[in-house]
Amino acid sequence: MITVRDDFARGIRTIEIDNPRRGNALDAAAVVNLARAFRDVDSLAFKCVVLKGASSSKHFCSGIDLKAASEVFAMDEHDVESDPVSMMERCEALIVCVARGDCVNAGFELALACDAVVCSEDARFVDSHGMIGILPSWGLSVKLSRAIGANAARHVSAFGVALDAKRAYDLGLACVVVADAESAEREAFKLAERVCAMPRGGASALKRAINDGLDLKTVRAEERRRAFEQYREYAREKFAAFNSQRRSSKL
């Protein structure tokens, strides 16, 4: 479930991932609804978005819900309107992430898609794509190295070593680390209010200039192409295995 709260007076939209029983994991419906929550941010003239996990959960987002993984990976590669990170990348408003507990795979990528990450001390960034044997498609393979450097990114992704809040701050991924989730949320809204006090277009123009300098559009398109090519291959292998099993059962 994705919950949206709008503060038109301050120009801030709050988007909350609310699936505490599953560590705020995302199923296909949540993916689409999260994309929708970012899609109309600019048309409604919000200057900043705060993205957080449900307060009733210990985690920001533990990734794609494994029970729904096959459905999520079968989504249309070209349907960017239903892709949260694509919508976040199009968003002119600045986005602040409140990172607490586990930020795993898709959750890690959502944090990387934000313009600032505020962490509680228990925040932990985990890339387990290599352990699962799949490629990321929401920016982890291209944004992490830009955020923390190539060697540190390989340590986290290729070697599967978790990044705690302190190291995330030391490497430049997190801009603030505070004691707990409540403090992290307060700090995130302070940043949002700073943006909202600026002239319209000032912060968003700087955001776009920085992102254009990183050449994110080009590298993200290639990452997505590779990932979905792999997802399709996995689907074919799974289908072939299923047919083989059916034939064996009839013998």
Express each pLDDT in 54-107 by its tens digit: 988 899 999 988 887 778 877 888 888 999 999 999 999 999 999 999 999 999
pLDDT for position 129: 93
pLDDT for position 21: 87
Cα–Cα distance, 183 to 77 (Å, whole number): 38
The CATH number fitting domain 2-219, selected from 3.20.20.110, 3.90.226.10, 2.60.120.10, 3.40.1180.10:
3.90.226.10
pTM, whole model, 2 decimals? Answer: 0.89
The length of the chain, given as a count of residues: 251
pLDDT for position 251: 44
* pLDDT(156) > 90: yes
Percent of the chain at pLDDT > 90 equals 71
- The 8 Å CB, 24+ separation contacts for 169-176 are 169/119, 171/147, 172/147, 172/148, 173/111, 173/112, 173/117, 173/125, 173/144, 173/147, 173/148, 174/99, 174/117, 174/118, 174/119, 174/123, 175/116, 175/117, 175/118, 176/116, 176/118, 176/119
Of 251 and 106, the structure prediction assigns the larger pLDDT to: 106
Nearest to 41 by CA among 16, 6, 17: 6
Report yes or no: 84 and 58 within 8 Å, Cβ to Cβ: no
Helices 216-250 and 140-148: crossing angle in degrees, nearest 10, is: 140
Report, as an integer, the average pLDDT of 206-213: 91
- Helix or strand (DSSP H, E) at 152: helix 150-157
C-alpha 183 chain-centroid distance: 21
Percent of the chain at pLDDT > 70 equals 93
Q: What is the CA radius of gyration of the chain?
A: 18
Report, as an integer, the average pLDDT of 222-250: 66
